Amino acid sequence: MKKVWVSLALSFGILAGCQTKGVYLRETPLNVSDTRKAVVSVIGQPRLTSENGRELLSKYYDRKGNNDDAIKNARERLTTHVTILGDRRPYDIQIEVVVEIRDKEGVYQVVERDDARAEKVAKEIQKALVQSRDNRNIIDDFKPY
């Protein structure tokens, strides 16, 4: 009986460890291009963008927020991964901050996800989304045909 409980607890731990991390902004009202503009205003010009424009990877930066050439030789670097989810409005936005550390061979390995920093980025994106919505002209969104 004890083996059953141990295996059950171990299975639960493994399944709980496989959950997607990150922070979500639920039901954002803007279209994809306006959402992307708001995200870029927060994370800067992305290092990589998916083919459909819904996944953005920020440039590498350190814990202080510096993202210049000194990061190329740093032992630790962070990157922000933003994904716009859903097939139509309202969209959900997932924000993950990934921490990588360079090993002895000089290859970066993902060691953790920083949800506290992802929460800060999410709040900034939320503010940018609200500002973008407030600055939009109703005629810009009107399509008569």
From first to last of its 145 residues, the chain has per-residue pLDDT tens of: 544 444 444 444 444 444 557 899 999 989 999 999 999 999 999 999 999 999 999 999 999 888 877 787 889 999 999 999 998 889 999 999 999 999 999 899 999 999 999 999 999 999 999 887 656 554 555 555 5
**What is this structure's pTM?**
0.76
Is 57 part of a structural domain of the chain? Answer: yes
Is 46 part of a structural domain of the chain? Answer: yes
What is the extent of the structural domain holding 111? Answer: 24-136
Note the pLDDT of residue 73.
82
State the Cα–Cα distance between residues 66 and 68, nearest whole angstrom: 6
Is 39 part of a structural domain of the chain? Answer: yes
Note the pLDDT of residue 19.
52
Is 2 part of a structural domain of the chain? Answer: no
State the Cα–Cα distance between residues 78 and 117, nearest whole angstrom: 10
Is 141 part of a structural domain of the chain? Answer: no
Is 7 part of a structural domain of the chain? Answer: no
Is 71 part of a structural domain of the chain? Answer: yes
Is 42 part of a structural domain of the chain? Answer: yes
Note the pLDDT of residue 29.
86
| CATH value at residue 37 | 3.30.310
Asked whether the beta carbons of 84 and 24 are under 8 A apart, the reply is no
For 141, the token pair is 């969104």
For 87, the token pair is 């097939």
Number of domains comprising the chain: 1
State the Cα–Cα distance between residues 59 and 68, nearest whole angstrom: 9
